Amino acid sequence: MAFKSIKILAILFFLLLASTISQATVFDVKTYGAKPNGDITQALAKAWKDACAAQSPSKLVIPSGTYNLIEAKLQGPCKAPIEVQIQGTLRAPAVVTKASDSWVTIERLDRFTLNGGIFDGQGKNSYGKHCAVQEYCGKLPMNIRYNFVTNSIIRGITSLDSKQFHMNVLGCTNVTFDHVTITAPENSLNTDGIHIGRSTGINITNTNIKTGDDCISLGDGSKQITVVKTTCGPGHGISVGSLGKYPNEEPVEGVFIRNCTLTNTQNGVRIKTWPDSHFGTASDMHFKDIIMNNVGNPILIDQEYCPWNRCKLSVPSKVKLSKVSFKNIRGTSSTPVAVKLVCSGGPGGVPCQNIEIGDVNLAYTGPLGPVTSVCKHIKPILSGKQFPSACAISS
C-alpha cells in the first residue's frame, strides 16, 4: 500500500508540474551569446540568473549542438517554478585543472524540472588507474550534484563518462528520476550511477544504468526510496550501504526495489554494513520481482563488509537490520553462492530480525559446484519456492 501511494503521488505531482511549466517564459542561452562548440559557461550563468529571478514560471533552453562547460552552479531559491530543457550535449573539460567535487551543481530549488540532454563528463582518461600507483584518487568532479532539491523532476537526461559518481542526491525531498540513462565502462572506478543520502521520497523509474560501480547506492538517511522498471549492468548492483562507518548516521527506512533487471553485475541486490561499526538502523526494505542475468551474489546481506581488509572482523556490526524481504527473485548466478545472508552476531552483535525470503529461483551452471546458499547469525522467514535451498550452509 505504501508503495502504491508513493507512486500515485509522484505521478500527480509530475502532471501538475508539467502543466505549470508549459506556460513558461523562455530564456534561450543563444541570446546570451552561447554558440555550438564554444564555451557556454558564462552564457548559462547569465541565463540562469534571469530565469531564476522571473516572477512567473520560466524555461531555460539549451538548443541542439555540443557546448563546452567548465562548471555550472544552478542555485536557488528561485521566484517561481523553473525548467532547464537541454536539446544538445554539455561537455566537461577532459582534464581537471582544479580540485572540485562537482561539475554541475543543482541546489536549493523547489518545483524544478531538468528535461533532456547529454552530460558528457569526459572521464575516460581517469578510468582503469590504480590509486596508489598512479595518484588517481584526488578530488574528481561528479557529473551532477542535487543538493536540497524538493518537489522536482529529472527526466530524459543522459549522464556519460563521469569522472566520479554520475549523480549524487543529498538532502532532497520528493524528487523523481524518469527515463534517465547512465553510461560508463566497466572499468570506471567509483562511478556510482545514482547515490542517495539523507533524502526522502526519491523515485527512480524507467532508468538504464551501465557503470563501473554501484548502479544505485543508498547511504544513511535514505527514506521512502522507490526504484522500479530499472536495468543495471555492468556494475556492482543495487546496494543499501555501506552503513555504520561514521558516527550519528541517520536511519534507512522504506526502500522498495521492484521490477528491475540486473545483467552481468558483480552483485545483485545487497545490504552492506561495516564490522566494528557505529550504531545505526536500516528497516522496511523490500526487493521484489527482480531478474538476475549472470549476476554474482544475487541476494546478499553482508554485515562483515570489509573491502580492503582494514576492519576488525572479530567485532560485530552494530547496525540493526529488520523487516527485510526478498521475493520473486529469479534468473542465473555467476557464483555458486546465490543467496548469502551474513548478519551481525556474537557478543555485542545485533542480529537481523524479520528477514523474509520467498519464491527464489536462481541457477548456476559454472564449474565450482552446485548452487547453494549461506547463512550466518540468521534464521530467515521462508515462503514459496526456495532454489537453492535456504541456508544450505549455516553457522
**119 near 142, Cβ under 8 Å?**
no
Q: Would the CA dihedral through 358, 195, 303, 247 be positive or negative?
A: negative
73-129 residue pLDDT tens: 999 999 999 999 999 999 999 988 877 899 999 999 999 999 999 999 999 988 876
The Cα 324–Cα 286 span in angstroms is 6
The boundaries of the domain holding residue 88 are: 81-126+144-394
The Cα 251–Cα 290 span in angstroms is 25
> Tell me, what's the pLDDT at 132?
47
| Assigned domain for 206 exists | yes
| Assigned domain for 76 exists | no
| Assigned domain for 93 exists | yes
Q: Which residue has the cell 531555460?
A: 60
Q: Would residue 84 be called left, alpha or beta, if left means φ above 0 and alpha means ψ between -120 and 50 degrees?
A: beta
User: Total domain count for the chain?
Assistant: 1
| Assigned domain for 298 exists | yes
What b/e readout covers 143-163, taking b as 16+ CB neighbours within 10 angstroms?
bbbbbbbbbbbbbbbbbbbbb
Helices (H), 241-391: none
The Cα 204–Cα 52 span in angstroms is 26
Catalytic residues: 236
The Cα 146–Cα 180 span in angstroms is 15
The Cα 318–Cα 82 span in angstroms is 43
> Tell me, what's the pLDDT at 100?
87
CATH for 386: 2.160.20.10
The Cα 67–Cα 38 span in angstroms is 6
**46 near 34, Cβ under 8 Å?**
no
| Assigned domain for 11 exists | no
Q: Would residue 340 be called left, alpha or beta, if left means φ above 0 and alpha means ψ between -120 and 50 degrees?
A: beta
| Assigned domain for 205 exists | yes
Distance of CA 332 to the CA centre of its chain: 23
Q: Give the rounded percent of residues in the chain with a pLDDT score beyond 90.
A: 83
Under-70 pLDDT residues of the chain? 1-22, 129-138
The Cα 391–Cα 372 span in angstroms is 8
Q: Which residue has the cell 508540474?
A: 17
The Cα 331–Cα 334 span in angstroms is 10
> Tell me, what's the pLDDT at 175?
98
> Tell me, what's the pLDDT at 14?
56
State which amino acid sits at residue 208. Answer: N
Q: Would residue 207 be called left, alpha or beta, if left means φ above 0 and alpha means ψ between -120 and 50 degrees?
A: beta
The Cα 229–Cα 235 span in angstroms is 17
| Assigned domain for 296 exists | yes
How many other C-beta atoms lie within 10 A of the C-beta of residue 8?
10
How far, in Å, are 51, 62, 77, 379 from residue 29 at the CA level? 11, 6, 20, 60
| Assigned domain for 120 exists | yes
State how beta strands 223-228 and 200-205 pair. Answer: parallel
Q: Which residue has the cell 530467515?
A: 380
